[in-house]
């Protein structure tokens, strides 16, 4: 260590000497083409690390020797150089619409200029974020990155996003590896956008190899806000308010007419008597006109008063997001503090709240040595009780079923004599409850604390060597309580109640989770010209890292059932008590070696490998090694190519993995408390002691180019980035079905191979650029197709609505289908479904073969399944336009487009059961007679399920964001503020789609009963393509104010 101190002090003296030379104060302002100040631009003295950053209005001040060259750069702008002088330096930077000036880190190991990156790294800075985004990183990413499918599947607060980067690589979760400032964290959900400076996304194994056995789904890295050296404190405050209502699709999904028996006045009857609600508001089921009569039509308007149940249940919801950031820095330190508060109302009248506190402090006590510490503390609480079927976000599957599947004459707001909402409003269907009544009897609260701590020590030797050590720890503590009141005295307690038993129950859970990541890296850099005086313009970087990760979880639950009929409601007062616990530890570590060599800026190659050990690998815990190689070539360095001012060709190949489940390699017996005994028994899904990591190999070939048209105002510059990618995923873990006589139904094994390919295309253009009007256009396109090229035994994997079939696309919907021609043959290819002699008795109606006598559709045999497409879109695209008018008015909008994805509309299928679907109102023509025949529709529900009849085109084009921002001109601002802007925006204002449900984005992996894929023994599906009563996303209006001091 003595040697190090010597070295450090030598440098310290050297730098002091520099400062002692004759210096001047240099002042200036950096602006964009429109003259608006660019905040946070970097101004450095060329050849040194000395410099400063501009303040919010673009001004800067630094001390330098006269005549030294200043390098001015800012994210999103092209860099420029200028000589230091005592005069005010006013410099305007040109827009860098493809961000080639940017430096990226993710997937390249070492900070590299985008110009020289051989892989496709997408980045998003705060200026790119759609203005209607409220506090969520996941929301901010939607539509912004070509090839990144980011979808929020529910309007329930706190719902995380589904993220699929470049197709599916596994039958498990598609969720990418999430990093914050170089350290792995568990997820993006809850990370405060107010504290985010930039996000980088790499989409496959070629870049993910750096992250080894966890990188195959790609990586999303968040960089938190940092302060700047030599800058006075700056205060920025953002306040947003949003007001939203659920999307309800094109029209009511509920039929206007009915086909019940009615009395002479047209009122529905049961056994000849007009139906009426009982004292509690519960209705008899009217008699359906029997479908033994094929001429029954759904053509009677309700004489009873009807209610829109969605309207009764869902209220408008407000969201508030306030964020305060203070940042600045001295000579040797910088700091940034962010405090945010987010309050979201649920459309079902509950609340989700989040308070985030973040700090980021960097210190450079001696030159070359920096310490940086970033800490985010996130407190979340919610009392969501009903919403999505997904238990992980507090929903139960039954509660929203009734919202849809209830007769329109039922009034959910009816209260019984005790003042409670009616629980069972339909006497013929006790299990379908009034969702409005749940809050009367069921309460739920979650509070969680999440701490993301990240410490970094970095020492750069004057030459060659940089040492970097990062340690991150993420800690979660989640405390939940969930109770059902004792309902034994409730008016309908004998037939319907909420919870597991009428006497009430309470469950408390405490989950503590820590994730540690320790990452030590040595970089060795050489510059042959400078370091060795060789006349070779070669630079090399060698990276060697050691990466250690450990996750630990402790979980406890306690359950009390049979509660007294009076408060307090806790476990102690319950009659019966049960408790349990769960612990898990997961350890993985690995070595990374990566070598890159650049020849000028012309060509560069890199190669390396990463080797990982994991506690989840079976058979002796041998390491798995992933290779990587990349190359880029920039012809524009060699020759002038006219309007093609920048052209790069690139290719990359790499492997990465996905870890098996924590204890999936260990043979254990299951444990279940039964009565007073703790029993043990064989699991029905067997583990596998030889489990291997799932592997993904990616080949990516691409090009980045800039076209300078030479035109003045119109289409001056166009940037295009294009990548073709191919993934081969092997050893994919599959819960393979077994013969049941073995005593088990499944065994986990590495059996499946999935190949995916697609392209990513980004196009950015300055369509119009002049002083008074500026139009920037962006287009993002990602295509992907993932095929299961081999699965065990070639036997289909069936899970809920999804089938994985060898040779077919993932996300496949494959079921029995209505016949499409009267002469259609059975699977044997010979026998017609309908005997030739009988074919005259059938007809094709709306593409479906119908028996003209019974008016019923004819279905294919159970063994004769037809593919109805895949839940995965053939492409996703977005169009982003930003117009700047007279510098201060900014109008922008973003359209998102999903194409080719199918949705299983289980809501519509359930509505077919009770003749409630709006489809029943539509007349069909059978045998020359037109009518809304009940048998026609009912037969599509009744005889088989699932059926292709309920698979719909899920393509949509959605106006994701439209916003109008007014920046107050600096002249209008008094001295009290540096900048002030005011925005009005709208989110999800319209959707163009053929989909008949409420919201084509509000989909899940649930099956007919609302069980989510991902339960033990299922593949998690990754693809959310089932419309199972999810809360639709909201159509909302935002107002926001941003002010900087």
Partner 1 sequence: MKKISIYLLAIGLIAGAGCKKSELQQINPNQPTPTGSLTSEAGLESYGAGLLARTIFPVPNEGNSNILTISMIFHSIMGDETFLPYGNFGFRYVNQVYKITLPSGTVITTPIGVPQKSTLQGFNSRAAGETNAFMYEWTINYFFIQQCNEMLDALKGNISYNGDAATKKAALQAWAYWWKGYAYSRLGSMYLSGVINNDATGGTNGTFVDHNGLITEANKNFDTCSTLLGTLPAVGNAGYNEVMTALVLSFNDNAHIVTPAMWIHQNNSYKARNLLVNKKVSAMGAADWQSIITLCTNGLTATDNYFKFGMTQDGNNDLSNSFLQPLAMLGPNVQWTFLSERLVQDFKTGDNRFTKGVLRLPDPPATDPDYGLSSFANLRSRGLQLGTRWAAVPIENGGLYATGNNTGYVPLACTYEENALMLAEAYINSGQIETGLGYIDAVRNFQNAGLPAVKGTGLSLAAAKEELRLERRIGLMQRGVAFYDARRWNVTAPVASGGGRANAIVYVPGTVLGPSGTPSQALPCFMEYNYLDYWDVPQNELDFNAPSSGSAPVKN
**Contacts to partner 1 from residues 57-76, by CB under 8 A:** none
> Residue 19: which of 40, 42, 48 has the closest Cα?
48
Stretch that binds partner 1, among 403-411, 525-533, 557-565, 1022-1030 (CB under 8 A): 557-565
Site for partner 1 (CB under 8 A): how many residues?
127
Contact with partner 1 (CB under 8 A): which of 740, 835, 837, 974?
740
**By the rule CB under 8 A, 2 interacts with partner 1:** no
Stretch that binds partner 1, among 127-135, 184-192, 231-239, 608-616 (CB under 8 A): 608-616
Is the Cβ–Cβ distance between 690 and 619 less than 8 Å? yes
Strands (E), 203-261: 219-224, 231-246, 257-258
Distance CA 438, CA 864 (A): 42
**By the rule CB under 8 A, 533 interacts with partner 1:** no
Kind and range of the H or E element at 206?
Answer: helix 205-208
**Contacts to partner 1 from residues 126-145, by CB under 8 A:** none
Residue number, 424 or 776, with CB nearest to partner 1: 424
> Residue 906: which of 253, 255, 162, 152 has the closest Cα?
253
**By the rule CB under 8 A, 371 interacts with partner 1:** no
Q: How many CB atoms lie within 10 A of CB 589?
A: 18
923 to 185, 299, 845, 932: CA distances (angstroms): 55, 9, 11, 4
Is the Cβ–Cβ distance between 360 and 353 less than 8 Å? no
86 to 23, 26, 27, 66: CA distances (angstroms): 10, 6, 7, 8
C-beta of 663: minimal distance to partner 1 in Å? 4
Contact with partner 1 (CB under 8 A): which of 23, 443, 540, 745?
745
C-beta of 84: minimal distance to partner 1 in Å? 35
Residue number, 523 or 632, with CB nearest to partner 1: 523
Distance CA 77, CA 71 (A): 13
**By the rule CB under 8 A, 589 interacts with partner 1:** yes
Is the Cβ–Cβ distance between 634 and 668 less than 8 Å? no
**By the rule CB under 8 A, 236 interacts with partner 1:** no
Distance CA 666, CA 617 (A): 10
**Contacts to partner 1 from residues 798-817, by CB under 8 A:** 798-800, 803, 814-815
Residue 910 DSSP label = H
C-beta of 555: minimal distance to partner 1 in Å? 10
**By the rule CB under 8 A, 621 interacts with partner 1:** yes
Contact with partner 1 (CB under 8 A): which of 676, 831, 971, 975?
676
**Contacts to partner 1 from residues 155-214, by CB under 8 A:** none
Cα separation of the two ends of the chain: 44
**By the rule CB under 8 A, 18 interacts with partner 1:** no
Contact with partner 1 (CB under 8 A): which of 31, 236, 291, 752?
291
**Contacts to partner 1 from residues 425-464, by CB under 8 A:** 427-428, 430, 461, 464
Compute the C-alpha angle 886/891/892, nearest 5°.
140
Contact with partner 1 (CB under 8 A): which of 287, 511, 527, 713?
287
C-beta of 221: minimal distance to partner 1 in Å? 22
**By the rule CB under 8 A, 392 interacts with partner 1:** no
Question: Using CB atoms within 10 A of its CB, is residue 710 exposed (0-12), middle (13-18) or buried (19+)?
Answer: exposed
**By the rule CB under 8 A, 681 interacts with partner 1:** yes
Kind and range of the H or E element at 439?
Answer: helix 438-441
Q: Which two structure tokens, joined as six digits, stand for 79? A: 């860099």
Contact with partner 1 (CB under 8 A): which of 82, 562, 631, 918?
562
**By the rule CB under 8 A, 16 interacts with partner 1:** no
C-beta of 836: minimal distance to partner 1 in Å? 19
Contact with partner 1 (CB under 8 A): which of 522, 573, 699, 968?
522
511 to 175, 184, 481, 673, 840: CA distances (angstroms): 21, 20, 12, 21, 65
**Contacts to partner 1 from residues 653-672, by CB under 8 A:** 662-663, 666-672
**Contacts to partner 1 from residues 261-280, by CB under 8 A:** 261-263, 269-273, 275-276, 278
Contact with partner 1 (CB under 8 A): which of 475, 502, 644, 924?
502
**By the rule CB under 8 A, 943 interacts with partner 1:** yes
Angle between helices 934-942 and 906-913 (to 10 degrees): 120
**Contacts to partner 1 from residues 837-866, by CB under 8 A:** 854, 856, 861-863, 865
C-beta of 312: minimal distance to partner 1 in Å? 22
Contact with partner 1 (CB under 8 A): which of 66, 365, 743, 840?
743
**Contacts to partner 1 from residues 468-497, by CB under 8 A:** 469, 492, 494-497
**By the rule CB under 8 A, 835 interacts with partner 1:** no
635 to 334, 539, 652: CA distances (angstroms): 40, 19, 18
Compute the C-alpha angle 452/456/459, nearest 5°.
175
> Residue 788: which of 1024, 617, 1019 has the closest Cα?
1019
Is the Cβ–Cβ distance between 597 and 525 less than 8 Å? no
Bridge partner list, 884: 774, 890
Stretch that binds partner 1, among 433-441, 607-615, 719-727, 874-882 (CB under 8 A): 607-615
Contact with partner 1 (CB under 8 A): which of 78, 187, 601, 796?
796
Distance CA 808, CA 790 (A): 9
C-beta of 751: minimal distance to partner 1 in Å? 13
C-beta of 405: minimal distance to partner 1 in Å? 12
> Residue 355: which of 378, 322, 381 has the closest Cα?
378
Contact with partner 1 (CB under 8 A): which of 942, 953, 981, 1020?
942
Q: How many CB atoms lie within 10 A of CB 697?
A: 22
Is the Cβ–Cβ distance between 988 and 247 less than 8 Å? yes
Stretch that binds partner 1, among 260-268, 380-388, 479-487, 758-766 (CB under 8 A): 260-268
Contact with partner 1 (CB under 8 A): which of 86, 576, 708, 846?
576
Contact with partner 1 (CB under 8 A): which of 97, 121, 253, 686?
686
Residue number, 363 or 662, with CB nearest to partner 1: 662
**By the rule CB under 8 A, 976 interacts with partner 1:** no
Strands (E), 485-564: 505-527, 538-561
Q: Which two structure tokens, joined as six digits, stand for 602? A: 């012309």
Residue number, 447 or 570, with CB nearest to partner 1: 570
**By the rule CB under 8 A, 827 interacts with partner 1:** no
C-beta of 422: minimal distance to partner 1 in Å? 12
Q: Which two structure tokens, joined as six digits, stand for 96? A: 């860098």
**Contacts to partner 1 from residues 980-1039, by CB under 8 A:** 1007-1009, 1011, 1015-1018
C-beta of 268: minimal distance to partner 1 in Å? 11
Please list, residue by residue across 728-739, b when 16 or more beta carbons sit within 10 angstroms of its beta carbon and e when fewer do. bbbbbbbbbbee
Residue number, 133 or 588, with CB nearest to partner 1: 588
Strands 538-561, 80-83: pairing is unpaired
**By the rule CB under 8 A, 510 interacts with partner 1:** no
* C-alpha atoms less than 13 angstroms from C-alpha of 439 in its C-beta half-sphere: 13
């Amino acid at each position: 260590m003595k040697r190090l101190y010597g070295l450090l002090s030598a440098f310290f003296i050297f730098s002091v000497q520099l400062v002692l030379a004759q210096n001047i104060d240099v002042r200036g302002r950096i602006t964009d083409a429109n003259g608006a100040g660019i905040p946070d631009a970097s101004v450095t003295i060329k050849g040194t690390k000395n410099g400063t950053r501009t303040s919010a209005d673009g001004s800067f001040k630094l001390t330098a020797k006269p005549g030294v060259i200043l390098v001015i750069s800012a994210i999103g702008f092209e860099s420029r150089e200028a000589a230091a002088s005592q005069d005010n330096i006013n410099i305007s930077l040109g827009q860098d619409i493809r961000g080639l000036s940017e430096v990226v880190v993710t997937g390249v190991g070492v900070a590299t200029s985008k110009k020289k990156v051989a892989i496709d790294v997408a980045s998003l800075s705060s200026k790119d974020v759609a203005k209607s985004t409220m506090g969520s990183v996941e929301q901010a990413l939607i539509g912004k990155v070509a090839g990144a499918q980011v979808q929020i599947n529910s309007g329930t607060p706190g719902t995380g996003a589904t993220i699929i980067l470049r197709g599916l690589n596994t039958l498990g979760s598609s969720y990418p590896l999430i990093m914050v400032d170089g350290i792995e964290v568990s997820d993006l959900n809850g990370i405060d956008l107010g504290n985010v400076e930039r996000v980088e996304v790499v989409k496959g194994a070629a870049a993910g190899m750096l992250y080894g056995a966890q990188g195959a789904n790609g990586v999303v890295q968040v960089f938190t806000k940092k302060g700047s050296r030599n800058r006075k404190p700056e205060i920025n405050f953002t306040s947003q308010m949003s007001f939203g209502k659920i999307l309800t699709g094109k029209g009511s999904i509920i039929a206007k007419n009915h086909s019940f028996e009615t009395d002479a006045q047209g009122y529905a009857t049961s056994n000849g008597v007009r139906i009426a609600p009982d004292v509690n508001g519960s209705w008899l089921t009217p008699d359906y006109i029997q479908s033994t009569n094929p001429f029954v039509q759904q053509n009677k308007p309700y004489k009873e008063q009807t209610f829109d149940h969605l309207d009764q249940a869902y209220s408008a919801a407000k969201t508030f997001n306030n964020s305060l950031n203070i940042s600045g820095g001295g000579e040797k330190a910088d700091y940034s503090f962010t405090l945010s508060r987010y309050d979201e109302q649920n459309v079902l009248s509950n609340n989700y709240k989040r308070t985030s506190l973040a700090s980021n402090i960097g210190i450079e006590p001696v030159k070359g040595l920096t310490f940086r510490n970033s800490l985010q503390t996130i407190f979340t609480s919610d009392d969501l009780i009903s919403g999505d079927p997904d238990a992980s976000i507090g929903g139960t599957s039954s509660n929203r079923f009734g919202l849809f599947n209830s007769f329109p004459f039922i009034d959910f707001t009816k209260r019984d004599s005790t003042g409670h909402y009616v629980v069972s409003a339909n006497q013929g269907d006790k299990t379908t409850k009034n969702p409005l009544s749940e809050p009367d009897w069921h309460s739920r609260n979650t509070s969680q604390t999440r701490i993301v701590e990240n410490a970094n020590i970095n020492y750069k030797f004057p030459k060659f060597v940089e040492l970097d050590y990062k340690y991150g720890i993420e800690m979660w503590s989640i405390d939940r309580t969930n109770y059902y009141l004792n309902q034994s005295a409730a008016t309908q307690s004998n037939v319907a109640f909420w919870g597991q038993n009428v006497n009430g129950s309470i469950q408390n859970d405490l989950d503590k989770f820590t994730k540690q990541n320790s990452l030590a890296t040595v970089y060795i850099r050489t510059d042959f010209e400078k370091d060795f005086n060789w006349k070779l313009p070669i630079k090399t970087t060698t990276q060697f890292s050691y990466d250690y990760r450990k996750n630990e979880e402790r979980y406890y639950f306690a359950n009390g059932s049979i509660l007294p009929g009076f408060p307090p409601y806790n476990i102690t007062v319950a009659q019966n008590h049960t408790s349990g616990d769960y612990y898990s530890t997961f350890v993985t570590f690995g070595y990374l070696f990566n070598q890159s060599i650049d020849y000028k800026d012309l060509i560069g190659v890199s190669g390396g490998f990463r080797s990982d050990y994991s506690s989840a690998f079976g058979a002796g815990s041998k390491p798995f090694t992933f290779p990587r190689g990349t190359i880029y070539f920039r012809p524009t360095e060699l020759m002038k190519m006219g309007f093609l001012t920048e052209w790069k060709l690139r290719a990359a190949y790499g492997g990465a993995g996905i870890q098996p489940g924590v204890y999936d390699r260990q043979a254990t017996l299951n444990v279940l408390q039964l009565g007073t005994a703790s029993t043990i028994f064989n699991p029905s899904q067997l583990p596998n002691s030889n489990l291997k990591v799932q592997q993904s190999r990616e080949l990516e070939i691409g090009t980045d180019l800039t076209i300078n048209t030479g035109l003045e105002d119109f289409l001056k510059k166009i940037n295009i980035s294009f990548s073709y990618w191919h993934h081969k995923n092997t050893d994919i873990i599959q819960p393979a079905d077994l013969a049941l006589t073995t005593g088990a139904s499944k065994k986990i094994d590495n059996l499946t191979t999935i190949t995916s390919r697609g392209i990513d295309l980004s196009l950015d253009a300055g369509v119009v650029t002049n002083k008074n009007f500026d139009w920037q256009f962006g287009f993002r396109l990602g295509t992907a197709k993932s095929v299961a090229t081999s699965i065990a035994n070639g036997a289909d994997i069936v899970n809920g609505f999804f089938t994985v079939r060898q040779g077919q696309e993932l996300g496949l919907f494959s079921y029995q289908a209505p016949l499409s021609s009267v002469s259609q043959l059975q699977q044997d290819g010979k026998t017609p479904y309908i005997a030739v002699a009988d074919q005259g008795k059938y007809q094709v109606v709306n593409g479906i073969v119908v028996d003209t006598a019974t008016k019923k559709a004819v279905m294919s045999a159970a063994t004769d399944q037809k593919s109805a497409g895949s839940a995965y879109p053939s492409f996703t695209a977005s169009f982003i336009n930003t117009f700047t008018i007279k510098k201060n008015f900014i109008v922008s909008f973003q359209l998102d487009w999903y194409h080719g994805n199918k949705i299983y509309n289980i809501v519509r299928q359930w509505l077919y059961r009770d003749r409630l679907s709006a489809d029943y109102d539509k007349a069909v023509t059978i045998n020359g007679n037109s009518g809304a025949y009940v048998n026609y529709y009912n037969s599509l529900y009744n005889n088989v399920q699932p059926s292709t009849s309920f698979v719909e085109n899920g393509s949509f084009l959605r106006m994701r964001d439209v916003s109008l921002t007014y920046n107050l001109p600096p002249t209008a601002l008094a001295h009290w503020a540096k900048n002030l802007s005011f925005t009005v925006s709208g989110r999800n204002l319209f959707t163009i789609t053929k989909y008949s449900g409420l919201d084509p984005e509000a989909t899940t992996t649930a099956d007919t009963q609302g069980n989510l894929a991902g339960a033990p023994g299922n593949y998690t599906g990754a693809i959310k393509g089932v419309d199972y009563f999810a809360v639709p996303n909201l159509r909302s209006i935002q107002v926001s104010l941003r002010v900087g001091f």
